[in-house]
Amino acid sequence: MSRVINYPDYSKVSCPNSEYTARNHFEIPMVSTLTDEKIQYIVQTLKGFFKNA
């Protein structure tokens, strides 16, 4: 039988450093297995994002 887990309500917790990082940080894929095609897609997507921001 499955057990129900009741997690705390974290929406009431203040984490200013984490909240700042979440609003002001992003990561792009950085792995050696990326093909040139995938790298070009990432670059074009980021250019479009910042052009429209």
pLDDT in tens, 6-49: 888 888 889 999 999 999 988 888 899 999 999 999 999 999 98
Q: Using only C-alpha atoms, what is the Rg of the chain?
A: 19
CA distance 26 to 41: 17
pLDDT of res. 29: 84
Q: pTM for the complete prediction?
A: 0.53
pLDDT of res. 12: 85
Tokens, residue 47: 């250019």
pLDDT of res. 41: 94
